[in-house]
Amino acid sequence: MVNRPGRRPLLTWTVPALNLALIATGGDNKPGREVTMRAKGIKALLTLLMALLASGAAPAARAQGENPVIPAVLGEARLELEMAASPGARYLGLSGRRGLPPGRGMAFAYPYLGRWRMVMRDMLFALDFVWVREGVVVGVTPRVPPPRGQEPPREVGPPTEVDMILELPAGWAETHGVGPGARLVLLNRP
């Protein structure tokens, strides 16, 4: 496709909550495709870059341990939670890892309540999913196995809207008596 001067935008992507807009135009007296990006503040720009990383538009590389780790109490048990703090980290989760250190899990915090779903994409070990709403466990999906061979990855979801999801090694919730009604306390949020 040849770009002609004065063409309307081919694509407009806007994220009002971040005051961010990405507009791909067809020229405006310049040869080739021009991409114009307006963003307020470095935070919006970094958010866009992480979204591109999560979407597969850029190579995704993450070493284990790059996410902040905070101590927590779930029910009566103490553990450390690796916080999936960015869109890229939330997309990757524990994919590709061989396991978790003892007493460790991963937490996915969301800014509002929703029926967030999780996918066992590229997982190598089974997980317990603990669904949390405003600091209280509302459900547990135990012992979800990783995909085998060419099997599609399993997708799991909460019994109600949640604002945090914990991924723990399979059997952890049962071993520690964690079920609906248990409280989650984050001891030192980043």
Q: What is the pLDDT of residue 91?
A: 92
Q: Is 3 domain-assigned? A: no
Q: Is 64 domain-assigned? A: no
Quote the strand ranges of 115-181, DSSP E: 118-119, 127-133, 136-144, 155-156, 162-169
172 in the same domain as 86: yes
Mean pLDDT of the chain: 76
Q: What is the pLDDT of residue 147?
A: 94
17 in the same domain as 40: yes
Cα separation of 42 and 86, whole Å? 15
47 in the same domain as 81: no
Q: Is 119 domain-assigned? A: yes
40 in the same domain as 87: no
15 in the same domain as 47: yes
- Tokens, residue 39: 């963003």
Q: Is 21 domain-assigned? A: yes
Residue spans of the chain under pLDDT 50: 1-46, 48-64
Q: Is 154 domain-assigned? A: yes
160 in the same domain as 92: yes
Q: Is 118 domain-assigned? A: yes
18 in the same domain as 74: no
Q: What is the pLDDT of residue 189?
A: 61
> Alpha carbon 64 to chain centroid distance?
15
Q: Is 92 domain-assigned? A: yes
133 in the same domain as 177: yes
Q: Give the predicted TM-score (pTM) of the model.
A: 0.66
155 in the same domain as 127: yes
Q: What is the pLDDT of residue 72?
A: 97
In which domain, by residue range, is 158 found? 69-186
> Alpha carbon 48 to chain centroid distance?
14
Find, among 145, 94, 138, 92, the residue nearest to 114 by Cα: 138
103 in the same domain as 40: no
133 in the same domain as 85: yes
Which amino acid is residue 115, in one-letter code? R
